[in-house]
Amino acid sequence: MSKLKKLTIRAETPSDYAAIYALTEAAFAVSDHADGDEQELPARLRKKPGYIPELSLVAELDGQLAGHILFTEIKVGGDPALLLGPVSVLPAFQGQGIGGALIEEGHRVGKRLGFDLCVLTGHEGYYPRFGYEPVDGHGILIPEEAPPKCKMVKFLTDRGREVKGTAIFPPEFTTTIRAITPADYPLLEDFLYHAVFQPPGAEIIPREVIFEPEVYLYIDGFNPEQNPGDVAAVAEKDGKPIAIAWTRIIPAYGHIDAETPELAVSVLPAHRGQGIGAVLMEHLFDLLRERGCVRTSLAVQKENPACRFYRRLGYEVVRDKGEEWLMVKVL
């Protein structure tokens, strides 16, 4: 415990980001319950509206960054709440109370900022030490794939016990993002169809449309190992792909030149409106940067509401094609 007297807990700064990535990766490398991409989570959550800088905390011990914790603002019913995770401690410093110190400080700061409760899904043998209890019986629903005893809540104030409703987690917590594999290639036909814009009130476009040459071009012969412009990211939930974003350098609707990959993105209907597409595309942009791409293009019909979505991601109109916009994002 004497070593913890030298422990300093403070809000993160941009200069900590690289160390936080490394320590999160190291911490979860020895965890039995890791998904494999936990180190990506802090960077993704910093871009979300629920990110609160005062609640992304680091622990320093003898001048070294030893731990990190992040609390994100979410909604439970219609009330603001906090979501804990991830919490990471370097393996060399585990078992010394650093994780607990981070949790307790996060609770103190969260209460000061006006939050009444905090929820999580986590180890049922660890978090109850800090006042967490199963949500069952409290009128709170956490609709995640986890045993009931792992879905927990900590009430920061007495008012927190009055909060009822469903906890809405950011998609970063419920969805795994990964690069495409050959096992996913047969799924591209289905995702290509779901990428076709269906105008509201119009007759449903039949599936056969994807076999028209100018459409099938978006997936025909897709192979990242053979084609430099073929890059794709997959969003997976409960082990099943629910969205794919991919690029190709092809003479299609959004073609710019031989150096600019054209984007296509498809989220299955049941999973739209949850922010999954944005998370997926940010991951795809990182993959494109790794390949040395400097921009990406797309074509979108002007009446498609996705135009606003693309603008939020940094795409700008470079050409008016009549019924479509040609848009480009600089990476």
**Pair 78, 163: CB distance under 8 Å:** no
Boundaries of domain holding 145: 2-168
Indicate whether 267 pLDDT > 60: yes
One domain, residues 182 and 164? no
The SS3 assignment for 231 reads strand
The reply to whether 255 and 300 lie within a common domain is: yes
Reference 149, options 130, 121, 173; nearest CA is: 121
Q: Do 28 and 160 belong together in one domain?
A: yes
- Taking only the tens place, the pLDDT of each residue in 206-232 is 999 999 999 999 999 999 999 999 999
User: Which alpha helices (H) appear in 152-275, and where do they start and end?
Assistant: 171-174, 188-195, 213-216
Domain CATH code at residue 57? 3.40.630.30
Average pLDDT over residues 287-305: 95
Residues 110, 19 within the same domain: yes
User: Does 155 lie in the same domain as 217?
Assistant: no
283/37 Cα distance (integer angstroms): 12
For residue 36, pLDDT beyond 70:
no
Residues 156 and 76 in one domain: yes
Clarify whether residues 135 and 202 are in a common domain: no
Find the DSSP H helices in the chain. 17-29, 41-46, 98-112, 171-174, 188-195, 213-216, 276-290, 306-312
Three-class HEC string of 250-261: CCCCCCCCCCCC
Neighbours of 182 (CB within 10 A): 10
Q: Would the pLDDT of 136 be above 90?
A: yes
Number of domains composing the chain: 2
56-81: pLDDT as tens digits: 999 999 889 999 999 999 999 999 99
pLDDT at 139 over 70: yes
Looking at 149, 168, 187, the residue that finishes a domain is 168
Q: How do residues 12-22 score in pLDDT, each as one tens digit?
A: 999 999 999 99
Residue finishing a domain among 140, 168, 196:
168
pLDDT for residue 303 is more than 80: yes
Domain boundary among 123, 147, 168: 168
Structure tokens at 180: 């495409």
Q: What angle do CA 92, 97, 34 make, to 5 degrees?
A: 60
Residue 212 sits in the same domain as residue 276 = yes
Q: In the Cβ-directed half-sphere of 76, how many Cα atoms lie within 13 Å?
A: 26
Same domain, 289 and 253: yes
Model pLDDT, residue 1: 42
Compute the Cα dihedral for 215, 321, 196, 246 and give only its sign. Answer: positive
Q: Do both 163 and 189 map to the same domain?
A: no
Same-domain status, 152 and 183:
no
d(CA 149, CA 132) in angstroms, rounded, equals 11
- For position 277, what pLDDT does the model report? 86
Q: Which residues, in sequence order, are CB contacts of 245 under 8 Å at separation 6+?
A: 232, 233, 263, 264, 265, 266, 277, 280, 281, 283, 284
Summarised one tens digit per residue, pLDDT across range 77-121 is: 999 999 999 999 999 999 999 999 999 999 999 999 999 999 998
